[in-house]
Structure 1
Amino acid sequence: MKPQIGELAPDFTAPVVGADCAEGATISLADLRGERVVLVFYPKDDTPGCTVQACALRDGWSELGGKARVFGVSVDPVKSHKKFISKHELPFPLIADEDRRIVEAYGVWVEKSMYGKKYMGTERSTFVIGRDGRIEAVLEKVKPEEHLEKLAAALGD
């Protein structure tokens, strides 16, 4: 089950890389209490849709910067995240959820289907978490091309 608007966001601790994060750093949602946080769940580093989504966030960073701390989250390892950040000059950090605890806690580890084959994967969804640790907005199954606009609207002015 996905956490709903008004509910406390599930806490987590996981490796994080990029932006101003030190080598080998971890991040906990509890450490970010008092700040607005955006968790952008995406299926896989450097795939076409995820690249479109990440680069749109990068290109629209001036719209988002200062409104919230933005983190990408996928089940890819830190090494993959580092390559993705470097290749596309991403200004936001990425969280490595290799054990799938975060995607499962947020209800975005789901059955998917491609060419008739079913498999488990991450649903492209975004959660805006308020300073009080409660869910403010949920953007579900968002299209990569529309994500920045929807996120900017959810964050407001």
Structure 2
Amino acid sequence: MLAGGVPTGEALSYGIVLAIVSVPVCALVGAVIGGLVVLVRTRSLSDPVARSADGGRASGAGGAPDGDEAAVPVLLTADDILAIPGVASVEVTPAEPGLEDLYVRFDDDPDGERDIILLRNTAVGSALALVGTARLELDETDLWVLLESVGARRSRVEEGNRIVVWHASGDERVFV
């Protein structure tokens, strides 16, 4: 405009046309970048997080809700969680090194009332679990017990951040 002798109105009209053309292009580029971010952040369900030297399983102290000494993984993988009866799906999203988000859905629960959201620290083997209104920090053995109980519909959330699970024998365990 200043040096080229182009009238102001013509320069503004070129600017408006350029803006109109660039909006869809920018939206398309943004969608592609967003898709790439999702692909990079999504982790395959079959990728193990950590395993012990003996094949990945260790005895838990009363690991199963029915009171048996069960083989509980040292650090649960998505495949381990999917193997729990009643679990329909597990979505794993790495949050940052050593942390991952898991979203666990259960069979016969179309409204998602029993869904569990986990923020797991894979370095120390603990998880922050959000179940209904309760928020609890659990180790891997307690997490196994909780997931298995919720999958079997043997749990309830109570006021005050409490989750009660029970065994087939009727014994109850309270997570606070």
TM-score with structure 1 length normalisation? 0.31
Q: Which structure is higher in RCO with an 8 Å CA cutoff and minimum separation 6?
A: 1
Give 1 or 2 for the bigger CA radius of gyration: 2
